[in-house]
Amino acid sequence: MNNKKKIMEDLIHGIFLILGLITVGCVFLITVYLIISGVPAIRKIGIINFLFGTKWASTAQDPKYGILPFILTSIYGTAGAIILGVPVGFFTAVYLSKVAPSKMRQIVSFIVNMLAGIPSVVYGLVGMMVLVPGIRKLFNIPDGASLFAAIIVLSIMILPSIISVSMTALDAVPRDYEDASLALGANEIETYFRVSVPAARSGIAAAVVLGVGRAIGEAMAVMMVSGNAAKMPSLFQSVRFLTTAVASEMSYSAGLQRQALFSIALVLFLFIMLINATLNFFMKKGDVH
């Protein structure tokens, strides 16, 4: 009887172990699939030609598969979104965490959560209908669908993650630090920016890195506002990102072209893994405090 019970318990333990390991299995599956389907095209095209080729003409008679334009567009777009989005997100987070009365904090947090809950296609739609024509008129260019439009949409989309992660970090700063600073004669604003912010710096850094991850991985919204032309990036011209390069040709691609799309996904995946590792580094550092 007792033996039977033990077997039963072991069996259940085993089942839970398997459930626990499913996430590991998924990561493994994704990695293996991307490598298996992404590597052949890179080998055929040649890694230098693929990564540093400046021309992408997948449907031409003599097809060219250089993805440097996409890599640069993704990097520029992300950098632009960070430059615009991080300051706004940072100051909002400090205000909500330290200055705002609790009712105000609740209301603005709800608004920020609303921004986070808006689907990316809705950002894309509004960008396409308002931002793109607006940019065309304002800067007097033939088409407003450009890197600039994408940067603005991305900077709004990363705001909620930057605000909420920075807020969590700022909330966790021990009240004693701030009290000590106030007791030494610093005013409240000085305390928040010179004591609380430095104490929460690894959390804020994590927020920025998370924003980078969001921006570089966004596909649909960017697809709707960036124009999607496969050439070297320029602020007011139509551009194509790593994500949109995969999405835009997937439905009609075949052969080497299709394989090359998987290779682009692999490159994107490597970028994301690098960003995750950085994020982990900052999160771990935060634990020490």
Partner 1 sequence: MKRSLYKGAMKTLMYISVGITCILAFSLIGYVLYRGIPGLSISFLTQKPSYLKGTIGILPDILNTLYVIIASLLIVLPLGVGAAVYLTEYASNKKIVGIIEYAAETLSGIPSIIYGLVGMLFFCQFLGFRTSLIAGALTLVIMNLPTIMRTTEESLKTVPNSYREGAFGLGAGKWRVIRTVVLPGCVDGVVTGCILTVGRIIGESAALLFTAGFAHSVHGFIDGLSSSGSTLTVALYVYAKEQGEFQVAFSIATILLILAFIINLAAVGVSNYYRKKRTV
Q: Is 122 in the site for partner 1 (CB under 8 A)?
A: yes
The neighbouring-strand residues paired with 265 are none
User: Looking at beta carbons only, is 5 or 175 nearer to partner 1?
Assistant: 5
Q: Which amino acid is at 95?
A: Y
- Specify the amino acid at residue 12: I
Q: How far is CA 165 from the centre of its chain?
A: 13
Question: What does the alpha-carbon distance between residue 259 and residue 278 come to, in Å, rounded to a whole number?
Answer: 29
Kindly state whether residue 3 participates in binding partner 1, applying the rule CB under 8 A. Answer: no
Per-residue x/- mask for partner 1, residues 192 to 221, rule CB under 8 A?
xx-------------------x--xxxxx-
Q: Measured from the CB atom, is 57 or 270 closer to partner 1? A: 270
d(CA 272, CA 276) in angstroms, rounded, equals: 6
Among 247, 263, 282, 286, binds partner 1 (CB under 8 A): 247
Q: Return the residue of 189, 234, 255, 284 that touches partner 1, per CB under 8 A.
A: 189
Sign of CA dihedral 221, 226, 230, 234: negative
- Token pair of 79 as six digits: 């950098």
* Binder among 39, 51, 68, 88 for partner 1 (CB under 8 A): 88
Listed ranges 110-118, 135-143, 176-184, 232-240: which one lies at the site for partner 1 (CB under 8 A)? 110-118
Vertex 33: Cα angle to 30 and 34 (nearest 5): 85
Kindly identify the residues of this chain, within the stretch 134-163, that bind partner 1 according to CB under 8 A: 156, 159, 163
Q: How far is the CB of 215 from partner 1 (least distance, A)?
A: 10
